[in-house]
Amino acid sequence: MEVMNSMICDMIDEAMNSEIWKMEDRIIVYCLTKDDCRDLSGLINRMLKQDISGFYHSKLSKEEKELAYQRWVNGQIKILVVTGALGAGIDYGFVRNVFHRGHASSQINYVQETGRAGRDGGRGECVTVYCKEVEDESHWMKDPGRETNLRYIKSDQCRRGMINEEMNGIRVDCLMYSDSRMCDICVESLKMTVPRYRASQGSDWDLYDDGGAQEFYRVVTNEEYKLISGVKDLMELLSGNCVACFTKDNQKMKHDVNECPNLRWMCSRCLSSDHRARECSVQREYVQNIENKPEN
């Protein structure tokens, strides 16, 4: 538990001392109990050596809740450590970091809570600091969504895909989007060293070795291997950069493709200039085709 709390404090300290942190930026930390909420808020203040965190839970009076929230909005404190008592009506636009201590109370709550990051269209980072001890101590929770959230945390599948499948009934993974944003699972999957491959016709790739980390072999052609390696290299090259600018001028520009001046007022899916990607019929037709696809 102490290690988990220290990790959260360290990540908060790193976020607030980064060059991109602004005065209006805020952080929310979600806990499962009011005691954890209060204790973690106090620990943050002690470790960061300033009164910068407050707490918010259901046992506070209406006046105390309003005071804590207004101090956070007004910038007197930058971090609000909360339970699920922080209602859905909260809509402060400049939340940059959302942390979950252990896990969320349900998958639906997780989606709503992480959705508070980056509502102004700017950056947002959501991190769950999982600890088995928290899971063991949260069996009192009766919401079946708790198990769904725990499966999500522990899974090695695309996080976007799992959320889409849970919330919309349709699995759409990161690589099926054109917005260049990827979850941590997909990023790591593409960066991961290809497990000890050897070509089928004898080549320079025969001696490729992952250092003995895995004992997996697969026969592939040179072209297949080079394609796999090329995708990994390209994703590392484009990480954090605009795909449109790189494609157009071979420039590595540090902005999201949906904020690209070269594509302003233009759909990044079909390149039309009368709508944005989220409204594009190409996406709607694609999803409709998935829904109507006959089963084998």
**Would you call 11 exposed, middle or buried from its count of C-beta atoms within 10 A (0-12, 13-18, 19+)?**
middle
How much is the pTM? 0.65
Q: How many CA atoms lie within 13 A of 179 on its CB side?
A: 16
The residue ranges of every structural domain in the chain are 2-154
* The amino acid at 177: Y
Longest dimension (CA), the chain: 74
What is the chain's pLDDT, residue by residue, as a tens digit (296 residues)?
A: 788 999 999 999 999 999 999 999 999 999 999 999 999 999 999 999 999 999 999 999 999 999 999 999 999 999 999 998 887 667 799 999 999 999 999 999 999 999 999 989 888 999 999 988 888 888 888 778 899 899 999 998 889 889 888 887 778 888 777 666 778 888 777 665 444 343 344 444 344 343 433 333 333 444 544 555 555 566 666 666 666 676 655 566 666 655 666 655 556 556 566 666 556 666 555 445 544 555 54
**In the CATH scheme, what is the homologous superfamily, with its name and number, of domain 2-154?**
P-loop containing nucleotide triphosphate hydrolases (3.40.50.300)
